[in-house]
Structure formats: C-alpha cells, structure tokens
Amino acid sequence: MPRVDVLHLRGPVLVGPDDVQPEAWVVGGRLTFSRPHGEVTPVEGWVLPGMVDAHCHIGLGKDGAVDAAEAERQALADRDAGALLLRDAGSPADTRWVDDREDLPVLVRAGRHIARPRRYLRGYADEVEPEDLLATVVRQAGAGDGWVKLVGDWIDRDTGDLAACWPAEVLAPAIAAAHAAGARVTAHCFAEDALRDLVEAGIDCIEHGTGLTADTIPLFAERGVTVVPTLINIATFPDIAAAAEAKFPGYAAHMRALHARRHDTVRAAHEAGIRLFVGTDAGGSLAHGRVVEEVLELHRAGLTAVQALDAATWGARAWLGRTALEEGAQADLLVCAADPRSDLAALRDRPTVVLRGVVRASS
C-alpha cells in the first residue's frame, strides 16, 4: 500500500477558471482548505482537478473485450497522463473490479454499445433490430452508471456510404425509457443524416459529431445537446478512407470531407454555445493516455486555452456530476509546474498525479 501522507498543496490552487486559492491540504484522501495539525508533506505547483476523458473504452481492444491485465494497463496509462475520471463510452468487458482499485481512475460506464446487426465493429456491441431497441436500452441502462450508448450511424454496405441506423419512430420511446431508468443517452455519429432524428427524440449527447452543419448546430444549441468531438480519433479518417477506397469510394470521399472540415465544425459548434468536452476514444485501435493531445486539439479548433482546459476539468466534472476542487471532495488532482491556463503545454510536462489523496505519479 502506498504511504498516505497529509499533503500541503502550496498552490496556487485553481478551484475554478477564475477562482484561485493560495493553498490547500489533503487529509484522509479529502481536500480541505483548513490547516490541519501535525506534520505535512509539501507539494508545490499549480493545482487543478484531475482531468476527464469523457469518451474512452476500458477493457476494449481491436477485436472486442480484452483481459483484466490489459484493461489495467489501459487505466494506468490514462491515470499517468492525468485523466482521473473516465467515462467509458461502451465496452463488452466486465470492468466492475476497477471500482475496488484505489490506484485506478474513477470509471463511469455506459454499458455496452447498442448497434444494428452487422452495422458496427464485430465483437463490440449488443446487436439488435429496431423492435428490440427499447428493451435493450433498459437493459444497458441497468449495466451502466447513468449512461447508455447507441451507434447512431455506420457504413451501409448496400449504399456504400454512412447511413443512420435507427428509424426515427423507435428512438423517442427508447430514449424516454433510459431517462425513466435514470440514464442519459449518447450516440456515435460521424455523418449528417442521423443527427436531427436523435436530437428531436431527446438525446443528451453526441460522440464525434463530425456531421454537424449549419442546419443542425442551432438545433443542438437550442436543445442543450452536448458534443464530445474526439478529434484525435477523427484524425484517423484519411487512413480509414484509404483502406475503403477500392470497395466504397463514396464512403471514402465522405470520410475525407468530414475530416477536412473537422476544426471548422468544432469551432462553429462552440461559437453557437454547444457544450464540448474532451474525449479521446481510446480503446479499440487507439492507445490510452492521450488526454492532453485532445485538450490541445480543442484549442487548435478555436477554444481558448482556458475553455479547452475547462472541457477537461471543472466543466467536465460538473457535467458528469462529480466534484472538482472543493471542501471535502475526493482529492483527485494534478500539480503542474506552470499555470496551464496560460500555457496548455504545462499538462505535457508530467504533472504530479494525486488520486484519492495519494501521489500516484510524479515528474
């Protein structure tokens, strides 16, 4: 067991983007702003909440579920990169054992992906026809931690391009059933066609959202639908297009077009007031531990440094209903050598990682 010290965080402590306290302490794994008695271990630097990867997949590999040893390596890579709260956006693996590990990030699950048969990656999803969507959503709501994940679109091999997976008439009852079960609903969407039906059916969030246009962006903003852009995943679209070119040229051209306008799409969504959060889509074919790259990508797409940081820390934690840096909160935090609000590169310089009040990784 690691030694549990009383830590003196000799700040600044970034309680919020504009709320800075000079110091704080960690006692019994909890944050406090009241000076304790006795000896303390000083930790100096800019303190901010542990980052959130709001779209990753613990326990998922390129062929489906992986064993516990590989899932542990995934979670440790995220932790050591500073992602201490993970929203698992679909996994076929049983990862409940992670909750018993004090040294691994906090995991919020969405159950297993829900997809149409032969309309998603093999071995990933609970595959059902539209008439079974409602019952499957209820089942996966029970398997998750307040989230359900739909596959909203995928390549249709008959037409040779991306296409919506679900008829509009089955979506609203299924999403309403998830809400009644206390779960929010999100959906994988690359293309344009599925977005309006999903939003009008009451969906809470869209993953990727590369198909957002001037027609749907105002609808998202009006309905308060969140987007997790996963830009480091979208960077793989040209390779996906190249692999599909010979058999599905229309799909390949569509993927290249979505990739080419990705930053413009994110910028337009942000300027319209749509909430954006950091998510890497790690798992499957993408390596874990890349949360900082996604923060930097959001910044390149037009968010200020503070806005991109908020999308991975204070704002993302509030969105998931979790605490940040407040009295009595679980001490999941990072200590940087410089102010990350001024220079996001501070996140890449191996900040000290404190998880559940224990120093887990340090520069």
Q: Do residues 200 and 169 make contact, with C-beta atoms less than 8 angstroms apart?
A: no
Do 205 and 70 share a domain, yes or no?
Answer: yes
Is there a domain that residue 124 lies in?
yes
CATH number, position 15: 2.30.40.10
Is residue 2 one of the residues assigned to a domain? no
Per-residue pLDDT, 4: 63
Lowest mean pLDDT among 2-16, 56-70, 84-98: 2-16
Q: Are residues 159 and 198 in the same domain?
A: yes
Reported as a single tens digit per residue, the pLDDT across 306-328 is 999 999 999 999 999 999 999 99
Is-contact 326 31, C-beta < 8 A? yes
Mean per-residue pLDDT, 349-354: 94
Domain CATH code at residue 104:
3.20.20.140
DSSP string, 321-343: T---S-TT-B--EEEESS-TTT-
pTM (two decimals): 0.97
303 part of a folded domain:
yes
Question: What is the number of domains present in the chain?
Answer: 2
Distances (CA, A) of 66 to 93, 112, 135, 314, 336: 7, 14, 27, 31, 33
Shared domain for 198 and 336, answered yes or no, is no
Read off the pLDDT of each residue in 104-120 and give the average, rounded to a whole number: 96
Shared-domain flag, residues 251 and 345: no
Name 56's bridge partners: 88, 282
**Longest distance between any two alpha carbons in the chain, whole Å:** 71
Segments forming the whole domain that contains residue 23: 7-48+324-361
Residue 362 has pLDDT above 70, yes or no: yes
The DSSP annotation for 5-27 comes to: PPEEEES-EEEETTEEES-EEEE
What does the DSSP 8-state code read for residue 124?
A: T
Assess whether 264 and 115 both reside in one domain: yes
The closest alpha carbon to 6, from 28, 33, 32, 35, belongs to 28
**Each residue of 55-74: pLDDT tens digit?**
999 999 999 999 999 999 99
Inside any domain, residue 1: no
Q: Which residue has the higher pLDDT, 85 or 1?
A: 85
234 lies in the same domain as 280:
yes
Kindly state whether residues 117 and 186 are assigned to the same domain: yes
Give the residue from 304, 319, 334 where a domain finishes: 319
Average pLDDT on 38-62 reads 97
22 and 79 within one domain: no
